[in-house]
Structure 1
Amino acid sequence: MSLTDIAARIREGLAGKGFDGSMKFDCGEDGVIVLADGTATTDDRDTDCTIRLSRDTLVKLLSGQLNPMTGVMMGKLKVSGDMGVALGLGRLLAR
């Protein structure tokens, strides 16, 4: 699944929901997904919080196959910036 496809699925999940702040999923050479202004795009920009992870880990995280806290403890997710934004968006994206 490409990051463009993942961003489209996130946009669908965010429809009608709002959140404060901005967050970036940085998948290295695969690119980025930025959650900001009520939508998700693959256009890179500065954000309040950045989560560095592989594309495969992102898919597992968003599908519920990987618990965010477990991912951090295993070193699969590296969070920088405003943790409050990460926690808020995590609850918003939860199924």
Structure 2
Amino acid sequence: MASPTTELFTGIGRRGHEALLEKVQGSLRFDLEHDQQTDHWHLAISRGDVTVTQEDRPADCVVRTDQGLFDKLATGESNAIASLLRNRMTVEGNLRLLVLFERLLPGPPTARHPRPATRGRWRRDR
């Protein structure tokens, strides 16, 4: 069984084009540490067209964290910016690319869409 991280990156690579990144140009590299070694995931984004490889190549934004935390990000159990603020991950380069990449991460598993949750309570009764 593949890790959530592997499933996330292979899914992004398989889709090839992400509408949420149509105005984005740049590259990200994720250095994920586990068991005394580091796995690399490189994403090249060109106007929504995304190419994913496992190469250790230079990138505009380099994110370093441990594999366990990134698995939680890939399943929506953790948040990238909150993890960055807690010093559980580091970023070098263009932080904006990480913020834009976060659009591709799933939300929390228990999250619900806000409209059905309010059930019309935001409207005034007439």
Above 0.5 in TM-score? yes
1:9 corresponding residue in structure 2: 11
Task: Find the counterpart in structure 1 of residue 73 from structure 2.
Answer: 61
Aligned to 1:34: 42
Q: For structure 1, list consecutive stretches of 5 or more residues without a partner in the other structure.
A: none
Shift of 1:16: 2.4
Deviations 1:58-93 (A, max 9, x none): 1111211111122112221111100111112222x1
Higher helix share: 1
Report which of the two structures shows the higher radius of gyration computed on alpha carbons. Answer: 2
Q: With the length of structure 1 as denominator, give the TM-score of the two structures.
A: 0.80
For residues 42 and 4 of structure 2, what CA distance do their matches in structure 1 show?
14
Matched, 1:94 2:105: yes
Shift of 1:2: 8.3
Partner of 1:23: 28
Amino-acid identity (%):
25
The amino acid across from 1:25 in the alignment is F
User: 1:27-77 CA deviation, whole Å, 9 max, x = no partner?
Assistant: 132311111141211111000001100111111112111111221122211
| Distance in structure 2 (CA, Å) of the matches to 1:2 and 1:87 | 20
Aligned counterpart, 2:97: 85
Give the unaligned 5+ runs of structure 2.
Answer: 107-126
Question: What is the total number of aligned residue pairs between the two structures?
Answer: 93
* TM-score for the superposition, normalised by structure 2: 0.63
* CA 70–4 in structure 1, closer or farther in 2 if over 3 Å, else same: closer
Structure 1's consecutive aligned runs of 4 or more residues displaced over 4 angstroms after TM superposition are 2-6
CA–CA distance in structure 2, aligned partners of residues 6 and 30 of structure 1: 18
Relative to structure 1, the CA distance from residue 6 to residue 16 in structure 2 (aligned partners, 3 Å threshold; closer, same or farther) is closer
